[in-house]
Structure 1
């Protein structure tokens, strides 16, 4: 885990979701949701949103919704709580210290199995952002190419896509590769201690492209690397989702608030999609310690995880959910553990509230599918400045 966000730990924050997931293993169960809150100002029903990591482009849609007044338009006074190495977002939610939380589905399902009454009410990231990255000349063109290699992974529940892919390719993760405990950065790969390193598209991969290639004196380029994308391999698991209190969803007022919160949040993601540079500026203004080019890269890459959304942004795909659950049930990590031991119950997710939000936005003329979305080309500066 990284310490509080100094410049170095901000670069390591890359894991974004990954770091916050590992917090689930080491966070104090009674940790108070703290950090630097961002508030929409007085005048609406108070709502607290717990993020899973520090302020960065990974959460651009929520900050945009706050900055653009979308929450206040729905009569909500939203306070955004930063995450950190000692904060487990789904635990904060389950303990009633927040009204909603952002968390990866596998870790949240593990928390549910342990008693956290939480429900996925919107699947904002509809694709996985996790990669396994190697130098192009390492000869790792597919998962089978990992055989005999030093394979880095963060652990803490972030390794299951990798382990599922190796198993499907006929590799025994405990015998056919050399597993290396990877730090939340790319130094192991750059220094040659790891042949294939875990990375998020929106952070660690950018760190590689912000580093100088000693052979050329220029920054590395994507052509210098080979990438295993779990979306293409078929072992992608669902990541950033909006979680609500299962118990409170029995209350009509909370149901209505949930629809309003999701409506405003999704409108914020539409803003981030259509105005990535402005969304970057909003995040930077909120106090992110990451550089401007790195943040723009992050907003752009996160947009790719959200858009296009054929069924509507935030709608939970039953196929993607089922795949995530199956991997969480069947795939064992280096310690022989699975994420969960039994099928989650029917309250684990619902499309009821996000569908209402999408219907209202559509009626207002908001493009909730992003069919014509095209990512921008971002020029990274050295060190992400």
Structure 2
């Protein structure tokens, strides 16, 4: 008994790690009490025998590891301890989770970040927690379709979910200059066979699911992630009705807290949860290997080792709102303070204390005295350590979000932010600006002949060559696949051409040595200099047009946008 209590108290201290010392002291006593009470095996909700309140939860899809935290909260008794009798409802064809929630058929639902658009349109929903810190939603194409970049979707077919729930993929496409008028929308189909059999050229899937299925069937594929295009949304957010929060705030707080406990348990006990799903929830008849793949990818996106499960902040919701607004999906103000739930720690602790008030009278004095004597000296060290870890993790996450993991260059997100900022400077007459768009010629042949591992080495070699040619003040970025771009400040078209020629010659003159081959490459480059009135989309479009002109004229050359429509240079 004593060891169990000490272990739970240690967990409480760790959860206090990010709080100021004064706040930690102010809530230490009730938190210690809560830890003690949850450690007593003979004190349970069922023994006090209160009436459980029935709650229904609408899942966004059929049972799988995507909802493991809810299963854990049920089977570990977390919901029962919170006074709740919870029923989980699988996805119903033709009805979105928000339809079910606002129709009054359920009290809680699992949705996507597009819920913000529903709130903006007047639907009174509140987001309680973000289970996935990064969304698993992605656009997937077969490798043999020739869709190497999002621009290749023009005049092709794409299967996308309807409504606001697919907003992040539409934002990604718009960020890449693609609108719904540029491709044919294929009716939704839940089977990956529609992609494998050629029924669509691009498929709206999850990184937690479809990549495993394609690998098992030996189908090469490409994955386009919104994060690579500066669209980094939350995934699988827990929502409720504003009216329920106003009338029964304790029920909402208790359900949220029990759900987060369930997810903490699920992430820490992946194999146990997979076994539970195989036994009780495997309505999709997935293999254990498939569920383990989904579990590992889900844990990576939940980031429970970096931030608390369910963590949200207003600044990130504000960035998401800004993306929607920039892409034309949102044109009215949103009351984020009313949309994003802020839990009251004091209220939830008081509810817990009231539930176990009779047991508290008999156990608190003796146990708290022993615990305080044993652990208070460790508190400051644990708080300081945890604070340093969280701060380091936050800085690392910010750095990773703007760096291409393969090449070490700036990624598309930082490229777009920098181009937007530098265009503003150019518009104010503070500097010249030129944009160089770069593509590796016949790169698909490298992947097809030598494999993607060699292809990665080629990309790193080209990236190193481009960075070596760049001048101080130039920003070199990998913008996707085999595509690169250079933002040249204080540079006109003729100066940018000299730099582009130097890069072209550097790559053309070198061999990239790999374990399997020595590979020679060439580049095609397009240049666009700033013109009055240019936007991010317009200058990128002119640079890309010049790039395509370079390819059409035989590749391994530099074309300026002003000469893209003339005879070969």
TM-score by length of 2: 0.48
Question: Quick one: structure 1 residues 152 and 80, their matched pair in 2 at CA, closer, same or farther if it must change by over 3 Å?
Answer: closer
Aligned equivalents of 2:70, 2:323: Cα separation in 1: 29
Partner residue, 1:238? 234
Choose from 293, 299, 306 the match for 1:310. 306
Aligned equivalents of 1:132, 1:198: Cα separation in 2: 5
Contact kept in structure 1, 2:111 and 2:239, CA below 8 Å? yes
After TM superposition, give the deviation of residue 137 of structure 1 in Å. 4.7
How far does the alpha carbon of each residue in 1:292-334 deviate from its partner, in whole angstroms, 9 at most, with x for none? 33333223322222123634211213343223333444536xx
- Tell which deviates more after alignment, 347-356 or 231-240: 347-356
Question: Quick one: structure 1 residues 280 and 153, their matched pair in 2 at CA, closer, same or farther if it must change by over 3 Å?
Answer: same
Aligned equivalents of 2:146, 2:187: Cα separation in 1: 22
Partner residue, 2:279? 285
Choose from 90, 102, 121 the match for 2:128. 121
Aligned equivalents of 1:354, 1:149: Cα separation in 2: 51
Contact kept in structure 2, 1:150 and 1:180, CA below 8 Å? yes
Please tell me whether Structure 1 or Structure 2 has the larger radius of gyration of its CA atoms.
2
After TM superposition, give the deviation of residue 246 of structure 1 in Å. 1.2
For 1:6-85, list aligned pairs within 5 A: 44-85=52-93
Contact kept in structure 2, 1:202 and 1:298, CA below 8 Å? yes
After TM superposition, give the deviation of residue 196 of structure 1 in Å. 2.9
- Tell which deviates more after alignment, 140-149 or 269-278: 140-149
Question: Quick one: structure 1 residues 267 and 165, their matched pair in 2 at CA, closer, same or farther if it must change by over 3 Å?
Answer: same
Choose from 133, 144, 168 the match for 2:140. 133
Contact kept in structure 2, 1:143 and 1:165, CA below 8 Å? no
Partner residue, 2:342? 351
Aligned equivalents of 1:355, 1:344: Cα separation in 2: 28
SS in 1 for 2:281: coil
Aligned equivalents of 2:346, 2:140: Cα separation in 1: 36
Choose from 163, 175, 186 the match for 1:168. 175
How far does the alpha carbon of each residue in 1:219-257 deviate from its partner, in whole angstroms, 9 at most, with x for none? x4xxx3221111222224333111123123234xx2222
Choose from 189, 194, 201 the match for 2:195. 189
Aligned equivalents of 1:210, 1:178: Cα separation in 2: 28
Question: Quick one: structure 1 residues 68 and 126, their matched pair in 2 at CA, closer, same or farther if it must change by over 3 Å?
Answer: same
Contact kept in structure 1, 2:133 and 2:233, CA below 8 Å? no
Partner residue, 2:400? none
Partner residue, 2:211? 205
After TM superposition, give the deviation of residue 124 of structure 1 in Å. 1.3
TM-score by length of 1: 0.68
Question: Quick one: structure 1 residues 209 and 157, their matched pair in 2 at CA, closer, same or farther if it must change by over 3 Å?
Answer: farther
Contact kept in structure 1, 2:111 and 2:236, CA below 8 Å? yes
Unmatched segments (≥5 aa) in structure 2: 1-44, 353-381, 394-569
After TM superposition, give the deviation of residue 147 of structure 1 in Å. 4.4
Contact kept in structure 2, 1:122 and 1:262, CA below 8 Å? yes
Contact kept in structure 2, 1:202 and 1:302, CA below 8 Å? yes
Question: Quick one: structure 1 residues 357 and 143, their matched pair in 2 at CA, closer, same or farther if it must change by over 3 Å?
Answer: farther
Question: Quick one: structure 1 residues 314 and 355, their matched pair in 2 at CA, closer, same or farther if it must change by over 3 Å?
Answer: farther
Partner residue, 1:91? 99
Structure with greater contact order relative to length (CA < 8 Å, sep ≥ 6): 1
After TM superposition, give the deviation of residue 153 of structure 1 in Å. 2.5
| Aligned-residue RMSD, C-alpha | 3.5
Aligned equivalents of 2:305, 2:322: Cα separation in 1: 23
For 1:221-370, list aligned pairs within 5 A: 224-251=220-247, 254-290=248-284, 291-293=286-288, 294-308=290-304, 310-331=306-327, 338=329, 340-345=330-335, 346-353=337-344
Aligned length: 307
Kindly indicate whether residue 147 of structure 2 is the aligned counterpart of residue 153 of structure 1.
Answer: no
Contact kept in structure 1, 2:264 and 2:304, CA below 8 Å? no
